[in-house]
Amino acid sequence: MISKTHKKLTTVYTAVFGLFLIAFVGIVCLGIIWGTYVERTEDVKVLANEIARENRGLILQHAQKETNGPPLATTEDDYDISGQVFFYIVDTKGQIIKADQPVPVLRESAYFQIMNWNPLESTKITTVKLPTNKTAVLILAAHQVQRGENLLATVYVGRDVTAYARSLLRSVFTLMAVSFIFLFLAAMIGYFLAGKVTTPMEESMKRKKQFIADASHELRTPLSVLFTSIEAVEMDMDNRLSPFSMQIMNDAKEESFRLKKLVDDLLTLARTDTGEIELKKEVFSLTLITKQVLRSLRFAADEKEIKILFDAADSMDLNADPERIYQLLFILIDNSIKYSSPNSEVRVQFKKVQNTTGCYTQIAVTDDGPGIPFECKEQIFQRFFRVDASRSRDIEGSGLGLSIAQWIVEAHEGEIYVNSELNKGSEFVVLLPNP
């Protein structure tokens, strides 16, 4: 239980740290990308405005001479050594008035982007494929030159930001790699913090288990003496008690027996917690053990006029601890008898089953009792749990039987579960692996 709590707390702490880390990394990455995009876009827009201002005279001259035939475009190749910045001045007919072209490897892609420009856009960032099968990232801006309400030309300015994009991508990947390292550290810190939280719980559980073990062990002797003393008084023929006194003695004997059984159950669970009980496996007849259990419970079943149906036509062997399997069957069948209505049936069935994990011996004990609510199916195997405490006061039991049954099954590397519906009875199913 403590280990499960430790794991759950570690998972919660790691998830919380991880969410904060992912949110932080995401915000930082988006901030870097957005900041770089805005900065470079503003640079290109300012440059487009500056080029339009410097070449306004040339654009006006081109517009005046347009009627005398298309003028020759001025193409400059004095780009800087990196070829990062370029521009095209294009008139309303798509003719290039002036251009400062990019490096040759970018010219075809840049020209295509400008000639297919969406008039509704003022800036854009795009990835283009180069003749060398590599890719480049371009930021482009358009600035219209007008005279009055008439459009004379459009200045297109571009900048190759491939180096910036690659550097930014490397930064993001580096940040993500570092975040994974910090996430691992967060998991370690979460495990450490979970250990700090569960350590007092573990110590408290150990003290509780030790107290139960010590108290159960110390109570066995006086209870045995008390039980024996009551029987001795009943057998004393020289001192006959009145009917009232005899009734009190009988009640005391029954309560002493119940208390002794409770102490035995507590001691069993305490020993399972400390690992003191070892299984002694051997091959035995499961059918024969079941018949012995039914003989022990015959009086309890007859008292409520409950019919126990057990098909013992085929003998079935099992490799397990016979004493613990006897205890398991006694708990399951005794519970079914206790919670069944008078004049009903309890069915015990065995069969071999096989699934994806292997071959198993299935033990099923079914009754026609009140059933178990869905929300209580997992809790019924907890210690001292009763489905309805007020309704169960008249039913003998301490709420420890199913906890012991679960331990017996798990110690044999098996599985136990319950199928039940309210007012339709319950079926306890045990799967024990075959050798």
| CB-count exposure of residue 293 (10 Å: 0-12, 13-18, 19+) | buried
pTM: 0.51
Residue listed under structure tokens 């007012």: 423
The residues, any chain, with a CB within 8 Å of residue 357's CB and separated by 6 or more, are none
Spatial strand order of the sheet with 358-367 comes to 307-310, 345-355, 358-367, 426-433, 415-420
d(CA 251, CA 245): 10
pLDDT of residue 140: 92
Instruction: Give the domain extent around 94.
Output: 67-160
What are the tokens at 348? Answer: 């015990």
Residue listed under structure tokens 């004997």: 253
Would 201 be classed as within a structural domain? Answer: no
d(CA 353, CA 372): 25
**Cβ atoms within 10 Å of 325's Cβ, excluding its own:** 22
Would 91 be classed as within a structural domain? Answer: yes
Mark which of 160, 188, 217 sits at the end of a domain: 160
CA angle 74, 78, 79 (to 5 degrees): 110
d(CA 139, CA 106): 13
- Averaged over successive runs of 10 residues, the pLDDT of the chain (435 residues) comes to 71 82 85 84 89 88 64 48 76 86 86 87 87 88 88 90 85 84 82 75 67 64 72 68 75 73 71 72 90 90 90 79 90 90 90 83 89 80 66 58 88 89 87 83
Residue 368 in 3-state DSSP? coil
Q: Whose CA is closest to 330, among 303, 360, 345, 308?
A: 308
pLDDT of residue 329: 93
Would 254 be classed as within a structural domain? Answer: no
In one-letter notation, the amino acid at residue 333 is I
Would 50 be classed as within a structural domain? Answer: no
| CB-count exposure of residue 160 (10 Å: 0-12, 13-18, 19+) | buried
pLDDT of residue 214: 64
Would 350 be classed as within a structural domain? Answer: yes
Would 302 be classed as within a structural domain? Answer: yes
Distances (CA, A) of 163 to 133, 167, 318: 17, 6, 73
Total number of domains in the chain: 2
**Cβ atoms within 10 Å of 303's Cβ, excluding its own:** 10
CATH number where 115 lies: 3.30.450
CATH number where 426 lies: 3.30.565.10
Would 18 be classed as within a structural domain? Answer: no
296, 330 Cβ separation under 8 angstroms: yes
What are the tokens at 72? Answer: 């020759």
